[in-house]
Chain A
Amino acid sequence: MKQKSKKSELCKLTQDLTAQLRPASEVMKLARLGSFFPTRLSFMRVLLRQLSKGGSSLHIKNWSLNEKGFGKAVLTIKYDGMPYSLIAFTHPLSDAKRTDRVIAEAWDSTYVLFDGIPSDIDLDRLEEQVPRQEAGRYSNRELVLSRANKSVRLFEHVVDSLSRGVQPERKLVETTGYLMRTTAVYGNGKFGIADRHKILNRGNLSGPFQIEMLAVYLIREFTHKLVEHIAKSKSPKTAIRLSSENKRYLGIGNSTGLGMAPFLISHPVLINNWILARETAITRMREKVSLNISEKTKLLTLYERVKKHLKQWQTADMVQANRITILRKEWDELGPKFQSYTDDYHPLNKLVNETSELSIETQELMISLIVEIGGDEIDDLSHCMNSNAEARLRPDMSLKSLKKIMRKQFDWAFKIDFSDPDENFQFWYTSASKLEPRLGLRQTEEGAEKEQPLDIAKRVQELENALKDYDENEITAVFILKHPEFRYIVRRIQTSLWAPYGEIQDNLIGKNCRPIDMLRCKLSFFGAAKFDPKSDRWTRITLYQGAPTASELAAPDADDWWLPALN
């Protein structure tokens, strides 16, 4: 109870700071959201801090893999005193069938995170279902469902190297960064697995995406053990283990597409809370008057680490590659400022101000860096990132008030000219094929009448048009009765009054909309880095790169892995 009231007090303080935070009109632009970097409030960081504090340790409960690494395994970890088990199944897969798309029907490996320790009956049941992924059926003992494909260029090379008694080539490790990449991580009730409310009372695990991040962390552990197992089976006499440094550097890849984007629109309150916590952390750090010696050292160390990280960030995507080039140059030029400001008052604010004329990506990198300097000052904000409240309709609100909120919070929506075909260019839809989310071109493709409601700005304009015929003293309930089609957008507008960071302030159906910006925003909250776009609607990333392995969680530097670099 005490912990709960402390948390609510903390979140209240956060709300009080709103006036000093960067405004939503600045933060909630696609270009900025698409330039976010992970911070120490990112969900992977939060999870590992808790695992580290709790003294968690990993145990292999079952390891039934053949010499080629095919079979099943169970890895169990205790978190807040309760066991959670990753059950892994590995399968032969031809290159022709290896796709990261939702439409895939076979994978190199499939996983489920089980609540507790599975019995043999559970394992038999799950062996039937898990390899089928979306086509399988699950119980509420299962918390997360996932699958991963091998990095063909690295996986075999690592196995081969280890079997010959040498570590893998540094360059290849650096450019790939993972042995396998997940192509979906399903939680919260999908296909019959446990609903999120099952874990809501499990302390730290109840935070956003904590259970999914735990599953991915255990998958990473499994991949490290898997390559060592295959290497040893291949050449028992010469095989060696993967070095600690390589293990730390090898995270888990992830392929992410459009499916992630609608989430940001359909959860306005949750997104508001994520951004609000982040912006609060930024403000607190900018207000920091001075740095102590250890903070000064950390600041300079992180500056150098970022330089290395940027050098090691590779992508074939021209847009992102150009951005990285600018980022590297600007970061280099900022070097002297780090030296000169560390002894000043408000050094972190000065550093942020130095970036105001630089690229948005450099601005956001600096923002993430100053947040990294925080510790106890900001880490508790992670408790404010959940959402217990839903968007609510206020039927008693006068139309005058509704219009006022709309004009204040959605002024950006009125600047878009939807008579211009480029602003009404595309539509979001769900394909009948495995329900894969896709984008279509309105002028040339069928299906626009089945568009998903991501056209927020257009709906706002349509609402304003409809409101013209109504007396401003009339209440919302009366208007909604006559125009039920506006219930959805009215609720969003009313919610924006208390959740100002809940709306992306750009046209999501315009020609210039880059869905990848939404993906990057969400992935940065997960803690992902090294964004490697494959198009403007699809990206690869690396999760847990640089993170301590399970055997290193107790190390004093276990939390020091923001934007890692291979030495």
Chain B
Amino acid sequence: MHRSFSETLFLCYKACVGGGVDVGNAQDIASSAAKIGAYQFKFFDFLPSLIQASKEPPLSLNTSSKIAKFESISVVQNASFLIDCLQSNLYKKIYIKHIDSILLLAGTCIHLAPELKVLISLNDQEVAGIHQYSLLASKEFLSFTKADNLKLEIVSQFDDNLALLQPSDTLFIEEKIWRELEVLASNTYVPETEHSRLEGAGAGLTDND
């Protein structure tokens, strides 16, 4: 079904918070999801499970080198942090053995690091470049879901094989997926009581002036 960016952003934010993601990170993941979803609607099919998978402990940090290596990354929990590291020059290259959504990682780059030129490679093949809110990618990039042997780095230019992709100006999300996100979001809503119905909003139940 057609969904606006605004309602998608709002629901993704609520779903993240309802799924246990911290508010600030939920804001970033929701924006990132809407941004990458504009390139690949199918991405949303995986979002509810990505949110629910984000229960791992935080990454451990070793800042003695400008190159970081991580075994397994939950993108909802850690993607924002990875981009923080690139932005703050904490790391110049990040190697990840396994990540549960390469698309959401790209979306996070679009959202959080527009001023950087971030290159994503898989098995040393350049698959996507992000700069100034634009996504350049290989033909198959948008069909990727989880990925192994990923490299994230700041570069000065992208490979010629990467083509500029055009995002859609609207979003389509399956009804079933939307419902799953709503279920997660519902964890943020407080069940109604008679007292809250009468007093919580500060207005009466009828108004005839």
Contact = CB atoms under 8 A, between A and B. Distances in A.
Contact of B24 (A96, A430, A489): A489
Interface stretch (A120-128, A209-217, A401-409, A442-450): A442-450
B209 A152 contact: yes
Contacts, number: 174
Contacts of A481: 58-59, 61, 81, 84
Given A193-B4, A481-B81, A488-B27, A395 B190 contact: no
Interface stretch (B136-144, B154-162, B192-200): B192-200
Given A257-B202, A432-B186, A480-B84, A197 B5 contact: yes
Nearest to B81: A481
A189 interface: yes
B23 A194 contact: no
Interface in B83-135: 84-85, 87-90, 112
Given A438-B196, A450-B188, A478-B90, A189 B6 contact: yes
Interface stretch (A359-367, A499-507, A532-540): A532-540
A33 interface: no
A482 interface: yes
A431 B200 contact: yes
A188 B81 contact: no
B83 to A, nearest CB: 8
Contacts of A197: 5, 169
B87 A488 contact: no
A189 B4 contact: yes
Interface string A529-566: 00000111110100000000000000000000000000
30 contacts: A101-B201, A101-B203, A149-B207, A153-B209, A181-B209, A189-B6, A190-B6, A190-B7, A192-B2, A192-B7, A393-B24, A395-B84, A431-B189, A431-B200, A432-B190, A432-B191, A440-B190, A445-B195, A445-B196, A450-B189, A475-B88, A480-B81, A481-B59, A482-B58, A486-B24, A487-B25, A488-B24, A534-B202, A535-B203, A536-B202
Contacts of B4: 140, 188-190, 192-195
A353 to B, nearest CB: 37
A157 interface: no
Contacts of A436: 200-201
A102 interface: yes
Interface in B162-209: 169-170, 186-193, 195-197, 200-209
Contacts of A198: 169
B200 A439 contact: yes
Interface in A98-113: 98-103
Contacts of A196: 6
A165 B209 CA distance: 24
Nearest to A153: B209
Given A395-B88, A485-B22, A487-B22, A534 B200 contact: no
A195 B203 contact: no
Given A149-B207, A450-B188, A538-B203, A195 B5 contact: yes
A396 interface: yes
A-B pairs, 9 with minimum CB distance: A189-B6, A487-B24, A537-B202, A438-B200, A189-B4, A488-B24, A447-B190, A396-B88, A395-B84
Q: How large is the interface on B (under 10, 10 to 19, 20 to 34, 35 or more residues)?
A: 35 or more
A396 B208 contact: no
A515 B203 CA distance: 13
B85 A488 contact: no
A23 B24 CA distance: 28
Contacts of A540: 209
A439 B202 CA distance: 8
B64 interface: no
A264 interface: no
Contacts of A152: 208-209
B24 A395 contact: no
B206 A95 contact: yes
A491 interface: yes
Contact of B192 (A432, A450, A515): A432
Q: Which among A95, A438, A477, A478 has the greatest number of chain B C-beta atoms within 10 A?
A: A477
B201 A255 contact: no
B3 interface: yes
A534 B190 contact: no
Contacts of B61: 478, 481
Given A445-B193, A480-B81, 13 more contacts: A98-B207, A140-B4, A188-B4, A192-B3, A396-B87, A431-B196, A432-B189, A435-B189, A450-B190, A481-B84, A484-B81, A487-B23, A537-B201
A368 interface: no
A477 B24 contact: no
Interface in A174-200: 176, 181, 188-198
Given A195-B6, A480-B81, A538-B201, A433 B206 contact: no
Given A140-B4, A196-B6, A197-B5, A437 B190 contact: no
Q: Which among B2, B85, B200 has the greatest number of chain A C-beta atoms within 10 A?
A: B200
Nearest to A154: B209
B170 A446 contact: no
A36 interface: no
B87 A395 contact: yes
Q: Which among A445, A481, A490, A491 has the greatest number of chain B C-beta atoms within 10 A?
A: A481
Contacts of B90: 395, 475, 477-478
B81 A535 contact: no
A476 interface: yes
B179 to A, nearest CB: 14
A258 interface: yes
A429 interface: yes
Contact of B206 (A99, A140, A475, A515): A99
B190 A491 contact: no
B196 A140 contact: no
Q: Which among A192, A484, A537 has the greatest number of chain B C-beta atoms within 10 A?
A: A484
A257 B201 contact: yes
A194 B4 CA distance: 7
A488 B189 CA distance: 20
Given A437-B201, A482-B58, A98 B84 contact: no
A188 B87 contact: no
B64 to A, nearest CB: 13
Contacts of B3: 192
B114 to A, nearest CB: 10
A100 B207 contact: yes
Contacts of A151: 209
Given A190-B7, A192-B3, A436-B201, A484 B209 contact: no
A195 B187 CA distance: 26
A176 B25 contact: no
A537 B199 CA distance: 10
A396 B203 contact: no
A55 interface: no
